[in-house]
């Protein structure tokens, strides 16, 4: 039997993964679990919520991508020790998307980034391209720890170059998602050159003011990043 603080009402609504993710977020916000503490096991959640284990795994996957949970292989799932601002920002993005499956989250990011880079290639001024090149060089020489923030800076600069305030705002709102995504990917890889090479191709296309080539380069970069992210999550799930 679960302890009182792990008791839930059975779920009746559909789609099940969306409702389950919301229920887990409610549990986190209730104060029943603190950052660094372990969540109930999949079996405990299955019994308490009266849902299948596959749905529980999908919900945990979504919250892992958002940077809220951390799956430690062979140990369990933990609430990440993140500052409240980072946690809230991640959750707000998740709520915006309705806590759908992780594939939907990364798909949404991809569509946003492709639109951004196309406009950036069309509208970029010489000085902005030069500034983007400076960030690219910082990426090249960064440690894994520094790479994360420089990577975000690169994508943020592209958004500003797009001259579209909506895209700038949306990208800003998902910084915590990007930070978690990049961290999972580069730390798992143990190196950053693969990502630098992707960014280099994007930069070269934007510098040539070639929207088509820029979109292709960004698409390849995000396809690679998405596959690496999903591979990391699958490993964590064991």
**Angstrom distance (rounded) from CA 211 to CA 200:** 15
Ranking 61-65, 105-109, 135-139, 215-219 by mean pLDDT, the lowest is 105-109
Q: Dump pLDDT digits (tens) for 159-196.
A: 999 999 888 887 887 776 778 778 888 988 999 999 99
CA distance 178 to 108: 12
Share of the chain above pLDDT 90, in %: 38
Higher pLDDT: 89 or 211? It is: 211
Task: Sort strands 69-72 and 76-79 into parallel, antiparallel or unpaired.
Answer: antiparallel
Q: What is the mean pLDDT of residues 76-83?
A: 75
As a whole number, the mean pLDDT across the chain is 81
| Mean of pLDDT values over 45-62 | 87
Cα 217 to Cα 1, 138, 199, 213, 220, distances in angstroms: 52, 20, 8, 6, 5
């Amino acid at each position: 039997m679960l302890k009182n603080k792990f008791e839930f009402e059975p779920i009746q609504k559909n789609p099940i993964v969306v409702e389950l993710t919301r229920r887990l977020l409610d549990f986190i916000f209730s104060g029943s679990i603190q950052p660094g503490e372990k969540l109930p096991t999949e079996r405990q959640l299955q019994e308490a919520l009266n849902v299948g284990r596959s749905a529980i795994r999908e919900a945990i996957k979504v919250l892992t991508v958002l940077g809220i949970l951390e799956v430690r292989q062979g140990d369990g799932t933990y609430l990440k020790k993140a500052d409240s601002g980072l946690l809230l920002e991640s959750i707000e993005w998740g709520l915006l998307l309705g806590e759908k499956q992780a594939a939907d989250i990364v798909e949404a990011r991809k569509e946003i980034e492709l639109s951004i880079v196309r406009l950036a290639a069309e509208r970029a001024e010489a000085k902005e391209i030069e500034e983007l090149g400076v960030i690219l060089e910082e990426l090249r020489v960064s440690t894994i720890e520094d790479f994360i923030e420089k990577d975000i800076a690169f994508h943020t600069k592209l958004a500003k170059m797009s001259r579209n305030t909506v895209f700038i705002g949306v990208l800003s709102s998902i910084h915590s998602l990007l930070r978690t995504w990049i961290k999972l990917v580069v730390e798992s890889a143990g190196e950053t050159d693969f990502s630098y090479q992707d960014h280099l191709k994007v930069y070269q296309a934007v510098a040539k003011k070639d929207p088509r080539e820029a979109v292709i380069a960004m698409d390849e970069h995000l396809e690679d990043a998405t596959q690496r992210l999903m591979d990391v999550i699958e490993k964590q799930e064991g």
